[in-house]
Structures are given as C-alpha cells and as structure tokens.
A and B are shown apart, each in its own frame.
Chain A
Amino acid sequence: MKPFLTWLDQRTGYKALMIESLNERVPGGARWRYVWGSTLVFAFAMQVITGLGLWMSYSPSSTTAWESVYYIQHEMWMGWLLRGIHHFMAQAMIVLMALHMIQVVVDGAYRAPREVNFWLGLILLQIVLGLSLTGYLLPWDQKGYWATKVATNIAGITPVIGTEIQQIAIGGSSYGHHTLTRFFMLHAGLLPILLVAFLAAHVYVFRRHGLHAPNPIYRPDTTFWPDQVLRDAIACLAVLVAVVLVMWKLRGFGPEGGAELGAPANPSEEYNAARPEWYFLFLFQFLKYFPGTKEVYGAIYIPGLAMLALFLMPFIGKSTAGHRANIVFLFGLLAGAGFLTFEAMKADAKNPGYARAVHQAELESRRIVQLVKTKGGIPPEGANGLLRQDFVVQGPKIFARSCASCHRYRGTNGLGEESKEAAVASDLESFGTREWLKGMITEAGHKKYFGASPKHKSGEMAAWSKKYGTKMTPAEVSAVVEFMMSSSGRKDENPAGLEFQAGEKFFLEGSENVPAESTCITCHSMTLKRYDRKSMSKEALASIGAERKAAMEAWEAALEASSGVGPDLTEYASEAWLRKMIDNPGKDTLYPETNAMPAFEKSLSATDKQMLIDWLLHKPFEGEVKETAETVIHE
C-alpha cells in the first residue's frame, strides 16, 4: 500500500493538501462552540445525497409531480426515509444556521479582517432560504401549491420589477407545468451550484484568516485534526440523531410517516390551511399587520432593512458598544421572529376554521393514498381526478354546498362546521338506518327528524308518532323497522331480520296499541314486489298459493283504501327512493303539500348526485384498507 501512496503523492501532492487542511491551527484549543459550520456542511452533504436519490424518481409537471412523490413515499424502497431525511434535515439547517450566526456574532468573528467572510455567510443564508422556499412547492400538494401562490404574489408587489419577477418565477401568468420545471431548476440546479461556489469561497476565506478564537489563551493551541474534528463529528452525529428522532416523534417511520404529503394540488379547491413552513411563519404573521398598500413595507422594505443591518454588522461592530448593539439587535430579531411565530400559531389554534381545514386536508391526503392503492395506480391525467370522483371526499362537500342551508349532518354542514342558524330540516347522518326508522316511528317530532321543520313539526307523522309510536312495544317497533329494511335493502345495514313478517302485519293491520284505522298503510302507500301483479308473469300469478293470494288481496284492498297523504314508502330510503326525493320532493307520491325542499333534478349534475347519494347511504368503500378509512372518515 505504502509504495502506491507514495507514487500517488509524487504525482498529485495529496499529502501536502491533507496536511494543509487537517493541521489547521486552533488557537486556544478545540471547543464545542466551533462545531456549527461543520454541522452545516454535513447537513448540506446529506441534502445533496438524499436530493440525488429523490431526483432519480421525481418528475416535475403538474400531472406527475405529486404522483411521482407519492411513488417515492409509498412504493419506493425506503423512499419515505429518503424524503424524511431530506425534509427534516432542511429544517435542521435553518436551526443550525441560526446557531452558527449567533456564535459568529457573539464571538465577534465578523470583525476585520473577516468582514467578507461574514457577508459570504449571509449570502449562503439567503441561498438556503431560497432552497427551502423552492423545495416546498415540488411535491405539488395543496400545502405547497397555495403557500407558493401566496409567496409569488408577494414577490409580485416588489416595486418596479415585481410583475416580471413573478412571471419569470412561475413561468407565465398561471401556475402549472412551468412553475414546477422552473422551481425544480432553481432547487436542484442553480441554487445548489451557487451554494457550493459560495461555500467554497466561505471556507477558503475562513482558512485564509484562520479561526477566530474569542479567548486564545483558553487552553494550549491545538490542530484541527483530530481534536476539533472529533468534536465536529460528534456534533454531526447529534444532528443526525436529532433529525431522525424528530421525524420519528412527529410523523413516525414508514410510508405513512416521514415527510408529509398532502392531497394533490388543485387550483379550484380552495385550501383554507395554507401556511408556509414554520420558519417562515413569522413573515406570514408580520404581513397581517400591514393594511392595504402598506404591505410592501412588511413584505419587502422592513425585511430588506433588517438584512441590510446584518450586512453592516462588521462596520457597526468596530467599537465595543457597536458590537454589543449588534448582539442586542440579533437577539432582538430572533426574539421578534419567535414572538411572531408564536402569535401565528396562537391565532391558528384559536381558529376552528383552520383546524377544520387541516383536518380535511389530512383526511384527503389519506383518502387519496387509499384510492391510488385501490385502483392499483394513478391514471395519466393525474391523481386529482380520483379525488374529484370520490364520494367519500365529495359527498360531504356537495352536502355542505347544496343541502346544509336547511339540513344538518351530525349537527354540522357535513364538513364539521356548525351553523349559527338553526336547522329547518332533518339531520341526515343516520338517514334510512335502523336507528333512523326507529326514531321516525317513536319520536318523529324530534329535531333530528321532523322536529326542525316548521311544516313537518306539526304535521301528521309527528302527531302520529306522539300518539301511537310511543305506545308501540319494542318488539312491534323492531318488527316494523325490519319490514322497512326488507323493502329498502340497504347495503350499509345488516339484512332484514325475520321479524319483518310481523312488521308487514303491523303495517297493514296495526296491533292492540295501534288501531287498524290508524296504522301505517292508512296514510302511506307501499308497493311490495311479492304482491305486485303488474311485475309478475301470468304463470307466476297462476301458481300463487291460497295463503299468499289472500295476503295479496288484503294488501291491495288496504292500498285502495289508503288516503296516501304520507309519502309512498316503496323501497323507502333506498338509493332509488332517495334519488326521487332529491330530484323532485314535491312529487305526488312524496310530499306534494308539505314539501319545503327545492327540486335538484336540474341543478345537481348526475355525478354529483350519485356521489351525494352514495355518501348519504354510507356506501362501503372499495379496497382492502376499508376499515382504517372508515375510522378516519367517521372519527
């Protein structure tokens, strides 16, 4: 080995380079406070490695960006770890930069002759912030999309060149393919190249002036290798452990953990939880204090002035008083940012709308993963189409839009928002289930059923329920419920029990507690397939036994005598019945006189109507991950 190394050294001079770099003098001995620069280099190296790993599978376009990140996160071998490290190390870099800067300023390491190196460091700070801003968009999820929209709109108010900057950044006047390709070029190309170049200059100038020791007689001088290198290495290890721990603690390991991936960006689906990454929250909050045209002060002038003050630190710090002023200024800046961050978080914590938006975003991001897994992949148009046609996500939104001005769903508008106004129609959460049927019989006047509606509250059903429903025995109630279930054939409930026959009898004849002239069929008509001559063939009719024939005739006679003032209960609460109700509730066979609901036949599209119905009827989800999804949706 040795002869080879000697041969190599004679041709390259690498030994001298190694000695030169490792034998750097450390005045006053190795110290922990010098480790920050090295941890930053380490963090950047991690970002390069994981970034290259991500690059292998990432595809920047508005129909492939989210989709490829989904693949990395959920299907690629250890992809979640790759993303997780990249995401959390980026945040660690911000913290490390703050620590590095505090150390440099407190130790006065920015003073002559190290001014230029201090400025190089400030430029590096800007580059790293630029990297995190551009990286936030690349997954093209709702969060990244809306945060970037806000950020670029703010760039657009820069005096004179704002509009042009904005258009160059987003690649036109609207957000799409070119926004991604451009941000990706910045994130993976231009900014890293600049960072390497400025980092090289930073290290070179640092070596030229040597380490600035605040206390050169702290301990005897030593060399960089191995005393300081050991401390640096341990610090880097600590950073790595911290990053992994934070990832584990906040998000967990595995494809469901690591870095977050929201629902795919959808320009038409407003996202009420749009917030920047936590280290930009202070700027976000700051903007709230600048009304109207004064915004440019909050967004550009004041941050620009603060940056200028940082650049002037080497001159201000020439005197001891100036140096102290610099330290006070830096800590003031950090405290101010911390305060604003706290204020932003406090405002969001107090805002139920924000909590709902975050909840909805999480729900959609879990649901889309489930949909992709169920379908076995994403269609070439992108993942958004899957969400747009999903009744689990769209059902409550359609309900909120079209139904919630009168109806409620578990007391809310379907999306968890409680209205200030009282409902004027039923709460449809349990619509058509056994619970609902039982309630309609025994307490129809309750506000969950007819009690909320001014017309139905004092209507016949509420009155009947009060007079007779409350007198029915539990066995009678459950028999009628099973009878109704046998007619609706609802798939979200267990099949009807055998008591349905007793229920049919009650429906027709009443019981000891409910006289025949007040039983169900006296108001409600109901066609039963087994008694429906029209739907039977001649042969089938002829082969009917005497017993069934008698029952059939009794049913027909009762139907003939029925006043029909109540809605027709044929297949009540089935998909077909609900569709008729939504289309035209004022129809003869439904509520011709007491209806207060608009007809949605024309104003809801066929797909929207189907999604609303599927959701209201609790249609089971497809896919093997059904259980977990249901707990998510109904939590």
Chain B
Amino acid sequence: MSLTELTVTALAAALRARQASVPEVIEAYLARIAAVDPPINSFITVAADSARAAARAAQAELDGGHDRGPLHGVPIGLKDLIETAGIRTTGGSKILADHVPTEDAVVVARLKAAGAIVIGKTNTHEFAFGPTTDNPHTGRTRNPWNLECIPGGSSGGSGAAVAARLAPAALGTDTGGSIRVPAALCGTVGYKPSYGLSSRRGVFSLAWSTDTVGPLTRSVADAALITRAMAGYDAEDPGSWPGAHPDLTPPRAGRLDGVRVGIPQPLGQTPLHPEVGEAIERAIVTLQQLGATVEDVEIPATATAFDVWTTIVFSEAATYHERWLKERPQDYGPDVLYKLDVGQMLLATEYLKAQQHRAVLVAQCRAALQRCTVLLTPTTTAPAPRFNQDTVQTTAGPRTTRDALLAFPCPFNLCGFPALSLPCGLSSEGLPLAVHLVGGPMGDDALLRVAAALESALSPLPAPTHTPQT
C-alpha cells in the first residue's frame, strides 16, 4: 500500500485499522516532497519538524483511545495566504517574506483541533492576485501533468501538491476562481463553499466581499470532510454566516432522479476549446443517465459579470493594499502592481455601479437556482496553457488566457453561492479537463450530492505523468 496514493477518507481508515501509523504517513509525505517537488515547486515552506512532532502527538492520542475524527493524523497543505503560528506566512510576496504569525488562522485552528497536521505552506500567485502562480518572488509552480504548463491559480501550489500526491488535501482561497481553476488544471476536486461558511480571520484578503476559504482534494467526500471540520460561525469575520449551516456530511453517490441541472445562458454559449466542449457534453450525458434533467436557464447578467467582478475585486484589493502601495510599490511584481494600480484608478461611482449590477446578477442566479438544483459550466475554457501563453484556442478563435480561466468561476463569487470543480477526463495532450457545478444559496449539501454522484460515474484520473512513484 502506497500511503501517498490514499485519499483522506482511505487514509483515515488505514490509520484506524493500524495499517500505518501517523509518523509513517508524515515520513512518507516528507520523503515524496523531497523527491518529487523540486521541479514542481508547490511548497514555499515544508514544516517538517512541526509535522513530525504533531504526528507523534497524534499517534499517542490514538494509542490512548482519543480519536479526534476522520482528520486525525491526516497531513494537509495550506496556501501561504493562511496564517500559521510559528510558520512563516508570506502571501507569496516579498513584502511579507519574513512574516511569522503568532496565531493560527481560525480555519487552521479548527483543522488542528480535528486532528489534521500541517505539512507545509503552498505557493500562491503573489497575494492571490492572479490565476497562473507564476510568482517572481517564490518561483513558478509547474503543473504536474506537464511541467511546461501553468497549474492555475492563485492556489496553484495547493492544486499541484494534491495532484502530485504531496499532500492528500490542501486549503486554498477563492476570490474569482482561485480554488476551482487550479483544481481544474491540475485534475483535483476544488470546492468553494458558500460565502460565509468558513472564517477568513487570519487569512490575507484579496477582496473582502468574495474571499472564501476551501479545500482542494482528490475526492468530493474529502472536500466535504475538510469543510465540515473548518466551517463555523466566527463573530469576528463580518462576512461569516450566523444562520444554520448546510449539512456537510460526505455524500453517498447515488441516482439523481428529480435533480434539475441548469446550463446558464448566455454564459453557456461561450466558445470553448473543442476538447473541453466534448468533455462537458459527456458529463451532461452522464448526469442524464443518472436521472437528472438538463435545461437552459437564462441569467443575462452573466454576460457582463467579468467586468463587474474586475471592478469590485480590483477596487477592494487596492484598498486592502493601500499602505504598502504607498510605502513599497517597488516590492510588488509587475503583474500584481498594475492590477492594484487599476484598482486605485477606479472611481467610487464605478465601484457602486458594479455593485448594483452585482445585485441584479445575484437576483437572477437565485431565481435560476429556485428552478434548478445546480448550474453546470466548464470550469475553464481550455486545458492548462503554457507559461507566458497570452491566448488559448477556442472554436471561435483565440481568447485571452485570463478571460479563459476566470470567465466561468468569477460570476459565482459575486453571488456567494457554493461551487465545485470536478475532473472529467484528460485531453489528447494528457491535460485534465473539468466540469464546474454551482449550488443554490447555502445549497452546499445538494451541490456535494450531485458532485459525488457525477464523480462516481466518471472514470477517475490516473496519477499525473510527471510525478514518479516513490
């Protein structure tokens, strides 16, 4: 049994069956990181010493009959945007290169309380502000399926680490697709829970009104397990949801009779890379075979959502970064600095106009999701592009890489609705393809149920070709 091939769920079972000890699991992952990660560069910091100490303590608890649950003894990677007491947290930046927090972020504290072990901090696009994880300060993370390709971003280190079996799960943050895009390009599950389910306290912000913490995993069940452990109301996060939370119990795969899947229009007419289009058609047929009905639903505001999202996110980011922009502009990478400059130049009236159109989008999405159980789109327009590739090919010609990566995910950050990227095959070049499912308001339970059913009916991806077995 290769410990690093196990999902979180399988690893938990193996630990309880005494087929492995927690220190053995941690050593297996540390050895694999040392052997496999150098060309991928998914980790900024490997927390070997603290992980070993935590593993010994976790095993002692299990031996003493104290079982914290299914995450007990499970290693997890954390995007380096998420603060960890005593472990450097850089945000992928030069500005915070030496920042060592004194407290854990709330989500980290909750995962540790559930028994999870932090194995390291994963690379990110600088301050999470971009979809490539081509970082001038911490180096580029490469896609384990093809080292010449981007892993997506901004949680690209987390996506690459999970795909390459360097961690069974990792946390990311998603402001416009930053969990779902790397999940799609690296062939993992990426789950953006409903806005407000997971606390952002202790997580560097990109844009307060859309930032969400969530997991990248190798199964839908694992994504539910991790989110259930870290979710919960936090009075000190103003966006935290104080009402009843959806049931995040890992769903069982089953039939989807009675489920209605909506294809949002005009978003659904977006020209795609031909192999993405074929994969989405296969996913739709699979859903129908499971008993779901599939229909078009009109959400006209998706046509302009990308500019609305850009205006809101760039403005909020520039506000968050105001002090450093004035004091240390030279310490930003050029591709992040220009976006922050755009945010500084946008007018208050433009921000508010965008928020008006956001309100319209939310209302239209909510109406669509009163008819439908979930919405379905591709996660990205094309498989992983090469580094420095400005455009991707679609059936209607080239499209800018940024638009191709963010157009489908970002409207649903504006809504705050839950969304999940699920692998649905490989391209002829051996790159992952992914389907994107969106749930209704606080409809995480239904979203996870549909995703688990679809996952069980699709062929699982093999391990990436550029990750040798250890």
Real binding pair: no
Binding site for B on A (CB under 8 A): none
Binding site for A on B (CB under 8 A): none
